[in-house]
Amino acid sequence: MKPQELKELSADELRTKEKELAEQLFKLRFQHTLGQLENPMKLRNIRREIARIKTVLDEKRRGKE
């Protein structure tokens, strides 16, 4: 998801999306440990997406948009 799309979401929607991605990241890390992960780039992409969401949430909290 692009940063502009994230900025259009509400804070509650962003928190929900962050929780979903955190759960998905946990599952992917588990698969990676077991050697069952087909595409390791998924880990990187999800971590980046979580970071984008946290950045947008912080901007909203501070009142920047």
End-to-end Cα separation, the chain, in angstroms? 17
pLDDT in tens, 11-64: 999 999 999 999 999 999 999 999 999 999 999 999 999 999 999 999 999 986
CATH class of segment(s) 3-62: mainly alpha
CA–CA gap between residue 10 and residue 61 (Å, rounded)? 11
Residue 1, helix vs strand vs coil: coil
Residue with tokens 């929780």: 19
The whole-model pTM stands at 0.89
Provide the token pair at 24. 């998905």
* Spans of all domains in the chain: 3-62
Q: In the structure, what pLDDT confidence band is assigned to residue 65 with cuts at 50, 70 and 90?
A: low
Q: In the structure, what pLDDT confidence band is assigned to residue 2 with cuts at 50, 70 and 90?
A: confident
Output DSSP code: residue 8.
T
